[in-house]
Amino acid sequence: IVGGSFTTISSFPWQISLQRSGSHSCGGSIYSANVIVTAAHCLQNVASISVLKVRAGSSYWTSGGVLLSVAAFKNHEGYNPSTMVNDIAVIRLSSSLTMSSTIRPIALATTAPVNGAEATVSGWGTVESGSNSLPTQLKYIDLKIVGRTQCSSATYGYGAEIKATMICAAAAGKDSCQGDSGGPLVSGGLLVGVVSWGYGCAYANYPGVYADVAALRSWVVEAAESV
Ligand code: 4AZ
């Protein structure tokens, strides 16, 4: 998270840290007691499912809360790593989470947020473009939704790279960044986006790009039942 503030998990109890071989690699959101929503690109080239862990209920990716194993995951069948279309996945945990003030699911948006709506993104990702160190404590920023039509317009640098299952969000000097991928973009108390990609982080005219949860909602609901 670039330009963000430290926070605690009680304010973002749906946030999890997806870890690979003991290191934080991506964010994710609690969908139900045993299902996590994250980005498909976070699960590329997983050699063995045994290296994956999910930490829930902690403000720190390094310790606290609970650390669970992964029983299975499913990437969207239409995920395309070249275009980043349909960059969404579900993970089934090996045991169920116990809900508390620091662990709870977030509901999926049914309609895309309107252009200009306020939205909040959280994560343990890098605090500047190109950095290779992660903060240990959770951070967040408030952004404004940039609708798909606006995000692909000449106002910004992406043009036709913005596809039907993507939305954007931006604010001056603030952005999600590497290590925030898979994590939650929340507006009106609903999960509206999953951190997906961008040209660097917090560069002018290049908003962060998110998987549009409303557009992908029916896939998530079905995949959560069958993963
Ligand atoms: C990344 O490298 C990444 N500014 C994630 C999010 C954004 C950029 C890059 C959005 O995983």
CA 16 – CA 91 distance, rounded (Å) = 12
226 is catalytic: no
Q: pLDDT digit string (tens) for 44-62?
A: 999 999 999 999 999 999 9
Q: Outline where DSSP puts E strands in 57-128.
A: 66-75, 89-93, 118-123
Biggest alpha carbon distance in the chain?
47
The residue from 25, 29, 58, 87 that is catalytic is: 87
Taking the CB of residue 66, how many other CB atoms lie within 10 A of it? 17
Give 184 Cα–ligand 1 centroid separation in angstroms. Answer: 13
Give 225 Cα–ligand 1 centroid separation in angstroms. Answer: 29
175 is catalytic: no
- Give mean pLDDT, residues 96-119: 98
User: Under a CB-based contact definition with an 8 Å cutoff, are residues 202 and 25 in contact?
Assistant: no
Q: Is the CB of 175 under 6 A from ligand 1?
A: yes
Q: Residue 134 has what pLDDT?
A: 98
Residue 131 pLDDT class (50, 70, 90 cuts): very high
Q: Residue 217 has what pLDDT?
A: 98
Residue 222 pLDDT class (50, 70, 90 cuts): very high
Of all helices (H) and strands (E), which one includes residue 24? strand 23-32
142 is catalytic: no
Residue 22 pLDDT class (50, 70, 90 cuts): very high
- Give mean pLDDT, residues 11-20: 99
3-state percent helix, strand, coil for the chain, nearest multiple of 5? 15, 40, 50
The residue from 17, 24, 29, 41 that is catalytic is: 41
Give 140 Cα–ligand 1 centroid separation in angstroms. Answer: 15
> What ipTM does this complex have?
0.95
Tell me the helices (H) and strands (E) count for the chain, helix number first.
2, 13
- DSSP lists the bridge partners of residue 16 as 28, 56
Q: Is the CB of 177 under 6 A from ligand 1?
A: yes
